[in-house]
Amino acid sequence: MGYTAEDELLIKEKWDDLLYSCTRICKNDEDWNFIKRAFFLAKEAHAGVRRRSGEPYLLHPIAVAKIAVDEIGLGVKSVVASLLHDVVEDTEYTVEDMERIFGQKIASMVDGLTKMSGVFNADTSEQAEYFRKVLLTLSDDVRVILIKIADRLHNMRTLGAMPMNKQIKITGETIYLFAPLAHRLGLYAIKTELEDLCMKYRFPQQYAEIKQKLADTDANRREYIEKFCAPIKEALDRDNFNYEIAGRVKSVYSIWSKMQRKQIPFEEIYDLFAIRIVFKSLPFPSEKTQCWQIYSTITDIYTPKPDRLRDWISMPKANGYEALHSTVMGPDGVWVEVQIRTQRMEDIAERGFAAHWKYKQAEGDVDEFDKWLNQIRAALNSPTENAVDFLDNFKLSLYTSEIVVFTPKGESRKMPFGSTALDFAYDIHSKIGNSAIGAKINHELKPITTQIQSGDQIEIITSDNAKPKAEWLDVVTTGKAKQSIKNFLKRERQNNIERGMEMLEQKMQQLNIQLNGHVLRKIIPAYESTTKEELYTKIGAGIISLDDLEKILKENSGRKLLKFWTFLIPQKKSNTPSEEQKESAKTTNKEAHAQQFEVAECCHPIPGDKVVGYHDPLTDKIIVHKATCDELNRLAAQHGKNIVKEEIQWSRQKAMSYLVTAELRGIDRKGILMDLARIISGDFNINIREINIKSHAGIFEGNLSLYVKDVESLNAVMDKMRQVKGIESIKRTL
């Protein structure tokens, strides 16, 4: 079925809008014709096709092209590639056709943008292979990644038309990889929108509540910002700065993340906004000097918080971000963050790589982004066990806070926050890392596993007899270090697998037990392994001892908690169900009852928590995770097809007590434990399993274990406990 006259009108409107955006990138008729040829081919290729929402499919590539131009700042070739990005995948056109019609460069970009297809190995993830293919294009053209992010942004903006399981898969991929990737590429505005859209679809109620609360407090916030900025404006006007000053409100997702992390209500988030000063720098003195001049002006007016000064001008972030951040004490005793940057820095902060590349061309500066690309290329060229391993290692290089450390000769190196001396050794060279036995940090001998701090000077001590250990994988934090260690261990792995198989078989013969799939499924998780190959390797390498094997096999490895709980998949109601629907419902009900559910160990959901099911192909069970679980995001990103389509609910008929733990902190006083016990046991009739409190210098902190019925009763008792005099914070940990 073709497009209606109304569809054609909508397509023309969006196409004209894109052409208007292209006026600043098209330099001649050749550029305009190049874009128009791509549009008309895409229109012919996608003729009559509609998206799930019902709108003409062509609107999608037009929207992606517009994002590439307006929001990322890309040029003519990127617009052409954006318009054509789904043509090879979804139509009869081939990459060879693209090369013949548009040239080799466009064909290469379109090929990079075409989704991975074909048969995948059983031990790899379809999504991970797809990401790997996309990232391989970094070696040729980083614009492919930027267009891919534009594609994902438009898909997220139109996600409402997708079914729930697809929404979970796509939001999982987005929060796990695309948002951190946008952050690393310096696309701050896009990263923020991707995170907000993920929250909007995964947690719509909480999203709407925070949006409403921001709207309700908007007038008071504006009034305060005006009051705070007035003396700063007066001073900057006096010094003849050409500037803009405004308050920027935190994103909904970042507010919600802080509420989750600290388990506090919206009303206790005090840093809801930051003040940003963007100015047009003069040719002289330097940008840096002018930024510090503005900082000096502000701190003459408001007192700064010494430990909250962030100088990303002297040492820019790896994604090119430059700015001076300071937190100062504003009127009415409120701490306010002030961000100072030039217009050039603002362009790079908002548009990331594209703006950085533009300024780099003009100034010829050393690009931190190039260094990061080189690290990614090195990782891509290294052999990895499978695509999932690759994806996890790549993820390590995305969201990172940075520190600056020094070699013995005084050369500065940027490392992620949390890095160890061993990470530093591998950052210098894999041979140094492989043979490292210790480190001199600030001329003092320290273990190679010591976490390094910003400003440290580090010398690595090596030995010819040293070699990487498997335990190092738990110590290092950088992707390069993990990959180098894995590459070394892989060379020994095959021998270890064979040795481990022999050792396990011998032990099973001693116990007179037949080694089969059922037995393996029992012992693999018991030894903290995910596959039989990993189990054999650990046995062969001596990491696992089989002394307790008999005990493990005798134990019931099933989850004891599940005898208290069951789950159900509710059936969709219909006013007049057909015979076919009735039969289908019976079958589905049987399958749901027969299906085994298991509570996820990583997040321990309890009744009332919003949950999502993941079908584990190894055990054929549905593992039930909290919807907020980080591990669920990883699984959705890497194995999205295993997310259970239907909503999973708690069956309340079998509800009994469930163990949860909470973390307490407050000001110590006589009788506080009795007050807490009276609320828990007396007011709520909840059993306390354990309470551990430590007090030091008038402050106490500790843990509390309770048996509760569900989230509702847990939240009720925690709310009441927060009202106890002296309690500063209480938050659920499991």
The residues annotated as belonging to the active site are 89-90
Dist CA 348 CA 346 (whole Å)? 5
Q: Structure tokens of 476? A: 């290092």
- Give Cα separations from 638 to 131, 178, 472, 538, 565 (angstroms): 9, 13, 25, 24, 29
Question: What are the start-end ranges of the E strands in 14-125?
Answer: none
Beta bridge partners of 459: 440
Q: What is the DSSP string of 408-474?
A: TT--EEEEETT-BHHHHHHHH-HHHHHTEEEEEETTEEE-TTPBP-TT-BEEEEE-TT----GGGGG
CA distances 54 to 162, 281, 426, 645, Å, are 12, 49, 52, 22
What HEC string does 633-696 produce?
HHHHHHCHHHECCCCCEEEHHHCCCEEEEEEEEEECCCCHHHHHHHHHHHHCCCEEEEEEEEEE
Q: How far is CA 713 from the centre of its chain?
A: 31
Q: How far apart are CA 400 and CA 419, in angstroms?
A: 10
Residue 420 β-bridge partners: 451
Q: Which residue from 305, 306, 322 is spatially nearest to 314, judged by alpha carbons?
A: 322
Let me know: does 659 contact 686? Beta carbons within 8 Å: no
Q: E strands within 427-484? A: 436-441, 444-446, 458-462
> Tokens 């390590």 correspond to what residue?
396
The position carrying tokens 């004490």 is 329
Residue 630 DSSP SS3: helix
List the beta strands (DSSP E) in 409-563: 412-416, 436-441, 444-446, 458-462
| Strands of the 444-446 sheet, one edge to the other | 444-446, 436-441, 458-462
Instruction: Considering only CA atoms, give the Rg of the chain.
Output: 29
**Please, which residues bridge with residue 665 across strands?**
701, 729
Amino acid code (one letter) for 221: R
Apex 275 CA angle, 273 and 276, nearest 5 = 125
Alpha carbon distance 129, 248 (integer Å): 38
Nearest to 201 by CA among 243, 157, 232, 231: 157
Beta partners for residue 598, in sequence order? 623
- DSSP 8-state symbol, 398: T
Distance CA 161, CA 155 (A): 10
Contacts of 624 (CB under 8 A, 6+ apart): 567, 597, 598, 599, 600, 605, 611, 612, 613, 614, 648
DSSP 219-258: HHHHHHHHHHHHHHHHHHHHTT--EEEEEEEPPHHHHHHH
Contact 14, 59 (CB under 8 A): yes
Q: Which helix (H) or strand (E) holds 185?
A: none
Do you find a cis peptide bond into 285, omega within 30 degrees of 0? yes
**Closest by Cα among 402, 416, 219, 187 to 315:** 402
Whose CA is closest to 152, among 80, 228, 232, 64?
Answer: 64
Q: Are 328 and 305 in contact (CB under 8 A)?
A: yes
- Within 8 A by CB and 6+ apart from 8, the residues are none
Nearest to 476 by CA among 486, 466, 467: 486
